Amino acid sequence: MTYQDMPLDEATRTLVVNRPGKRRRRAPEAPKERGAISFADRKRRSVRIWLWIIQGLALVGLVFAGLGPLLWSAKASISDTQAIITDPMGIWFTPNEWSNLVRAWNGAEIGSSLRNTVIVALGSTLATLVISILAAYILSVLKPKWAPLLSGAILATLFLPGVISLVPLYLTVLDLPLFHISLLNTFWAVWLPSAASAFNVVVLKRFFDSVPREILEAAKIDGAGPLRVLWTIVLPLSRPIIGVVALLAAIGSWKDYLWPMLVLPSPGLQPVSVMLPTLASGPTPLAVKMAAVFLSLIIPVVLFLIFQKQFLRGVGTAGGIKG
């Protein structure tokens, strides 16, 4: 059928739609539903009011559960012991005992314990990054013949509780194989075991698998060796996930208690996670103990607030690289 045989309205409509250089207008897409409540129900006033009430209560509950303990410890750290005991949930506090922070830092030796904690966290994070990155790079990029077997062995260790390896690991620290030395009361006893993290190896390997192979092949053709490919290509592309692994390793070593207590029996080397239970059982006043707790809590919170953008960005890009 030609345009001449068509009715005037239909022919005109066809010519307008199929006119060269003229794009057909797309029908506006319906907005997607954001939840269990439809858009029609959201337009009702009663539904909106109840939705605002529920969201407000949920927000207040989350804020109270998240900031409540931190704010209470901050209040208790500058209150006297009598006020903490008589009115523990009071909003106002008098007098302001700012000296509790100084006594906790110097008298309770929270300062030296925090220094030990920083040393343990930095060493554990560095060891974790070195071992995990190298292992993931070997399994994902180099891919030797025994890579599938090693990957299966690493995945199998994720199903084993950490308590099972506690005794063999402690015996290894007491008598290091080949060297026959004891790592007890040294930071190496905390750094080295924390480096072997199967979870971090799996996470980094998954991210390395998403690196475009064309870039790696082009680098190899240009004469780049394995270490140069790792340093100049893989690591710059993997900075988000490396930041996440580093932050998780630092926080994990910061709050670890059982293993540092076993391998660091000397009080001068113990981190704050081991020192606080010892301080709680001593004759130190309650207000000074609460000041020590607050000082040990505020540092990881500030650390997360500073690096929260890198942390969330790394979690969002953990599944692949955006092109």
60-117: pLDDT as tens digits: 999 888 888 888 888 888 888 888 888 777 766 666 778 888 888 887 678 888 899 9
Region 27-38: mean pLDDT is 60
Buried b (16+ CB within 10 A) or exposed e, 78-112: bbbbebbeeeeeeeebeeebeebbebbbeebbbeb
HSE, side-chain direction, 13 A CA sphere, residue 70 = 12
Region 166-191: mean pLDDT is 90
pLDDT in tens, 266-276: 988 999 889 88
Taking a C-beta distance cutoff of 8 angstroms, is the pair 183, 192 a contact? yes
228 pLDDT tier (thresholds 50, 70, 90): very high
Please report the pLDDT score of residue 9 as a whole number: 47
Q: What integer best gives the mean pLDDT of the chain?
A: 81
Distance of CA 247 to the CA centre of its chain: 5
Please determine, for residue 27, whether its predicted confidence score (pLDDT) is greater than 70: no
Please determine, for residue 21, whether its predicted confidence score (pLDDT) is greater than 60: no
pLDDT in tens, 130-163: 999 999 999 999 988 888 898 888 888 888 887 8
Please report the pLDDT score of residue 40 as a whole number: 72
Please report the pLDDT score of residue 159 as a whole number: 86
Please report the pLDDT score of residue 13 as a whole number: 46
Cα(first)–Cα(last) distance of the chain, in Å?
A: 47
Please report the pLDDT score of residue 15 as a whole number: 44
Q: What is the pTM of this model?
A: 0.73
Please determine, for residue 289, whether its predicted confidence score (pLDDT) is greater than 90: no
Least confident of 66-70, 187-191, 234-238: 66-70
